[in-house]
Amino acid sequence: MNFEILEHPADIGFRARGATVPELFANCAHALVSIILDCRDVRPTERFGVCADGSDYESLLVNFLNEVLYFVDGRRIALGRFDIGRLDENGIECVAWGEPRNLERHPPKLVVKAVTYHQLSVRRDDQGWVADVYVDI
């Protein structure tokens, strides 16, 4: 997975990378799930449609990650794979793969309340795409 955790005095963040925008969004979803629970042992046995809308890549990423958070926290699903279908600045359609959360196999790490716009950045650099994302814990 192509992400790193970022230090912050009150919250937690991550920087994810991807060669393409869909790869970037998938890596951001992996980073978010890895903050919430131990996802090394997730079995991708069930599929879940995760869709979001936005007015640009930044708002789309926040809305998409908040949908991922809903599945992990609200529906108690451990997600381990993200297949991005349609993605443009205004919308994303993703098939996420996972299974119901199991405390023994997917022990919790942190409670994430929301993905925020605080210091949010989605940009292209000489290696591809980069996103800095902070979440409210």
Q: What is the extent of the structural domain holding 100?
A: 3-136
In the predicted structure, residue 109 carries a pLDDT above the cut 90: yes
For residue 2, the model assigns a pLDDT of 73
Contact of 135 with 16, CB cutoff 8 Å: no
Buried b (16+ CB within 10 A) or exposed e, 39-78: beebeeeeebebebebeebbbbbbbbbbbbbebbbeeebb
pLDDT exceeds 70 at position 112? yes
1-35: pLDDT as tens digits: 577 676 656 578 999 999 999 999 999 999 999 99
- The angle at the Cα of 127, spanning 23 to 8, to the nearest 5 degrees, equals 75
Q: 104 burial class (0-12, 13-18, 19+ CB within 10 angstroms)?
A: exposed
pLDDT at 101 over 80: yes
Number of structural domains the chain divides into: 1
Whether this model's pTM surpasses 0.85: yes
The encoded tokens of residue 125 equal: 């650099």
Considering the chain, what percentage of its residues have pLDDT values greater than 90? 89
Q: Report whether pLDDT(82) > 80.
A: yes
Among the listed residues 117, 118, 101, the one whose alpha carbon sits nearest the alpha carbon of residue 109: 101
CATH number at residue 91: 3.55.10.10
